[in-house]
Amino acid sequence: MILVQWSCEIPQEKLESFINFAKNKLKPFYESYRCMKYELLFPMITEKKYFPYQESEIKNRYTEQLVFKDIKDFDDFHKNIEKNQEAQDIVGMY
Protein backbone atom coordinates (compact mmCIF):
# COMPACT_ATOMS: atom_id res chain seq x y z
CA MET A 1 0.00 0.00 0.00
CA ILE A 2 1.23 3.48 -0.88
CA LEU A 3 0.13 6.50 1.14
CA VAL A 4 0.63 9.94 -0.39
CA GLN A 5 0.10 12.86 1.94
CA TRP A 6 0.61 16.61 1.88
CA SER A 7 -0.52 19.52 3.95
CA CYS A 8 -1.36 23.12 3.07
CA GLU A 9 -3.07 26.16 4.48
CA ILE A 10 -6.08 27.73 2.86
CA PRO A 11 -7.47 31.20 3.57
CA GLN A 12 -10.38 31.00 6.00
CA GLU A 13 -12.74 32.71 3.54
CA LYS A 14 -12.05 29.99 0.92
CA LEU A 15 -12.25 27.03 3.29
CA GLU A 16 -15.90 26.11 2.71
CA SER A 17 -15.60 26.27 -1.08
CA PHE A 18 -12.42 24.15 -0.94
CA ILE A 19 -14.18 21.50 1.16
CA ASN A 20 -16.98 21.37 -1.43
CA PHE A 21 -14.41 21.20 -4.25
CA ALA A 22 -12.60 18.33 -2.50
CA LYS A 23 -15.81 16.41 -1.86
CA ASN A 24 -17.50 16.94 -5.22
CA LYS A 25 -14.56 17.13 -7.64
CA LEU A 26 -11.27 15.88 -6.15
CA LYS A 27 -12.52 12.74 -4.40
CA PRO A 28 -14.34 11.27 -7.44
CA PHE A 29 -11.50 12.42 -9.71
CA TYR A 30 -8.73 10.77 -7.69
CA GLU A 31 -10.75 7.61 -7.14
CA SER A 32 -11.36 7.33 -10.90
CA TYR A 33 -7.56 7.31 -11.38
CA ARG A 34 -6.80 4.19 -9.30
CA CYS A 35 -6.70 5.91 -5.92
CA MET A 36 -8.28 3.50 -3.43
CA LYS A 37 -9.10 6.18 -0.90
CA TYR A 38 -9.02 9.97 -0.72
CA GLU A 39 -9.37 11.83 2.57
CA LEU A 40 -9.28 15.47 3.57
CA LEU A 41 -8.24 15.94 7.20
CA PHE A 42 -8.27 18.98 9.48
CA PRO A 43 -6.69 19.56 12.92
CA MET A 44 -8.55 17.98 15.78
CA ILE A 45 -10.23 20.52 18.01
CA THR A 46 -10.31 19.27 21.58
CA GLU A 47 -9.31 20.62 24.95
CA LYS A 48 -7.43 17.46 25.85
CA LYS A 49 -4.26 16.92 23.84
CA TYR A 50 -3.09 13.36 23.42
CA PHE A 51 -0.14 14.02 21.14
CA PRO A 52 1.99 17.16 20.59
CA TYR A 53 1.18 17.31 16.87
CA GLN A 54 -2.49 17.97 17.72
CA GLU A 55 -1.58 21.36 19.11
CA SER A 56 -1.96 23.81 16.28
CA GLU A 57 -3.00 27.42 16.21
CA ILE A 58 -3.68 27.09 12.49
CA LYS A 59 -7.23 25.78 12.10
CA ASN A 60 -7.35 26.28 8.33
CA ARG A 61 -4.48 23.88 7.63
CA TYR A 62 -5.58 20.69 5.94
CA THR A 63 -3.94 17.39 5.09
CA GLU A 64 -4.86 15.37 2.03
CA GLN A 65 -4.24 11.64 1.91
CA LEU A 66 -4.40 9.40 -1.13
CA VAL A 67 -4.04 5.63 -0.79
CA PHE A 68 -2.92 3.45 -3.69
CA LYS A 69 -2.74 -0.34 -3.86
CA ASP A 70 0.93 -0.36 -4.85
CA ILE A 71 3.66 1.67 -6.54
CA LYS A 72 2.46 0.56 -9.98
CA ASP A 73 -0.97 2.10 -9.39
CA PHE A 74 0.69 5.27 -8.12
CA ASP A 75 2.92 5.46 -11.21
CA ASP A 76 -0.08 4.78 -13.49
CA PHE A 77 -1.94 7.57 -11.70
CA HIS A 78 0.79 10.08 -12.66
CA LYS A 79 1.11 8.79 -16.22
CA ASN A 80 -2.64 9.03 -16.81
CA ILE A 81 -2.83 12.58 -15.45
CA GLU A 82 0.04 13.65 -17.72
CA LYS A 83 -1.89 12.34 -20.75
CA ASN A 84 -5.25 13.91 -19.90
CA GLN A 85 -5.80 17.67 -20.21
CA GLU A 86 -8.99 17.60 -18.11
CA ALA A 87 -7.06 15.84 -15.32
CA GLN A 88 -4.29 18.44 -15.54
CA ASP A 89 -6.89 21.20 -15.30
CA ILE A 90 -8.39 19.69 -12.13
CA VAL A 91 -5.00 19.24 -10.47
CA GLY A 92 -4.08 22.77 -11.59
CA MET A 93 -7.03 24.20 -9.63
CA TYR A 94 -5.00 23.91 -6.44
- Domains in the chain: boundaries: 2-45+58-92
The per-residue pLDDT for 46 is 66
Q: Give yes or no for a contact between 30 and 37, defined as CB atoms under 8 angstroms apart.
A: no
Ranges under pLDDT 70 in the chain: 44-46, 48-57
CA separation, residue 24 to residues 19, 30, 43 (Å):
9, 11, 21
The per-residue pLDDT for 21 is 92
Distance CA 56, CA 64 (A): 17
2-45+58-92 topology per CATH:
Alpha-Beta Plaits (3.30.70)
Distance CA 82, CA 84 (A): 6
pTM: 0.76
The per-residue pLDDT for 27 is 94
Task: Kindly tell me the burial class for residue 10, based on how many C-beta atoms sit within 10 Å of its own C-beta (0-12, 13-18, 19 or more).
Answer: middle
Question: Chain-wide mean pLDDT for the chain?
Answer: 86
The per-residue pLDDT for 12 is 87
